Amino acid sequence: MSIKLIWRSLLYNTAFAGTMYIIAGLFLYFQQTRFIFFPRATIDTTPAAFNLPYQEVWLPVKTASKQVEKIHSWWIPVSTTSDRVLLYLHGNGINIGANVAHANRFHRMGFSVLLPDYRGYGLSQGSFPTESQVYQDAQVAWDYLVKERKIPANRIFIYGHSLGGAVAIDLSVKQPDAAGLIVEGSFTSVADMVNHQQVYRIFPIDLLLHQRFDSINKMGSLAMPVLFIHGTADWQVPASMSQQLYQAAPQPKQIFLVPGAGHNNTAEVAGSQYFQVVQQFVKQVENKNVTQRRGHFHAGVFPVEESVRSKDAKVN
């Protein structure tokens, strides 16, 4: 083969590879939400399956085009005198039906629970989810509790699992008067999650990302007690990310690492210890009546445990 043909073949292959690289990059940019959100419409379980009293709640959301879409939610009240409330923000791959069992655990701890589906999930109206959209949905759920149900902000704990943890962190920064934050199995940022998957490292991630969920850079603005929970055998989101969030968060803070637990079974693996850790955290918040000043807490008002994890816990 002549030198000319070799160069022509090389240029052709290079141009083809470059074109495919650009197409792949554009696909990742414009279809990015499809790699992050996996909304499910079918609701398989309701609170009735656990003999829980509940109400169907439809929360109106105004879109950028001034249209009104409705978020489907369940309000699960406690029958006791407890005034604790939990705003439960679920992850990206399931809807509220798959979260009833875990919501029931908090209900047994004395929480009334508001369990909303983001737009595009379950029975909620709206188009395919986006980062800004789920943030707005969480804010609407918060406003419903505070403005319509007249629940004091300092009686509301915000809980988020997985991607819901990123939504919960964002809401907590915007609502510093909330009682506390519980983040389970969540990540530092989408950029870090993408870099965790080696196949995507060939792309300019910072340039392509527009769905960032940049929790790690929001932690410094957090102004409430926070409890991080993570399974050490979580292969979807490494437990080291919760450790990084914990390190970045201001006091008061706690972290609970569950040896051998994966992404969705932390409570099952931890058993009674899960209840003990969460109840201890909640009681410390309530008993110490944590106060705020300029977005920060007075030193020493909340007894912080550096870690309540098992001494033999290992981080992936």
Q: Are residues 106 and 4 in the same domain?
A: no
Residue 315 lies in a domain: no
- 309 located within any domain: no
Question: Same structural domain for residues 26 and 48?
Answer: no
Check whether 315 has a pLDDT greater than 60: no
Looking at the fold, whether 152 and 12 belong to one and the same domain comes out as no
Mean pLDDT for 181-197 is 93
Closest C-alpha among 145, 200, 137 to residue 163 = 137
| In a domain? residue 302 | no
Q: Is it the case that residue 232 has pLDDT exceeding 50?
A: yes
Angle among Cα 182, 265, 124 to the nearest 5 degrees reads 65
Tell whether 70 and 22 lie within a shared domain.
no
Distance separating alpha carbons of residues 117 and 97, to the nearest angstrom: 9
At residue 242, the pLDDT reads 98
142 closest CA partner among 93, 85, 218: 85
For residue 198, the 8-state DSSP code is G
* Global confidence as pTM: 0.88
Residue 304 has pLDDT above 50, yes or no: no
Would you say residue 89 lies in a domain?
yes
Tens digits of residue pLDDT in 60-117 = 999 988 899 999 999 999 987 889 999 999 999 999 999 999 999 999 999 999 999 9
Q: Is the pLDDT of residue 174 over 60?
A: yes
- Alpha carbon distance 180, 307 (integer Å): 17
Is 308's pLDDT higher than 70? no
pLDDT value, residue 310 = 38
* Residue 288, pLDDT score: 67
More confident residue, 49 or 296: 49
Q: Which pLDDT score is estimated for 289? A: 53
Same domain? 115 vs 25: no
Same domain for 186 and 71? Answer: yes
Q: Which one, of 101, 108, 73, 97, lies nearest residue 87 by Cα?
A: 73
> How many structural domains compose the chain?
2
Domain membership flag for residue 208: yes
pLDDT digits (tens, 9 = 90+) for 29-74: 778 988 899 999 999 999 999 999 999 999 999 998 889 999 999 9
Residue 165 lies in a domain: yes
pLDDT band at 295 (very low <50, low <70, confident <90, very high): very low
Does 253 map to a domain? yes
Residue 59: give its domain's CATH number: 3.40.50.1820
Full residue range of the structural domain in which residue 140 is found: 39-297
How far are the Cα atoms of 281, 283, 286, 301 from residue 252, in angstroms, in the given order? 10, 14, 13, 9
Those residues with Cβ within 8 angstroms of residue 187's Cβ, 6 or more apart along the chain or in another chain: 162, 163, 165, 166, 193, 213, 215, 237, 241
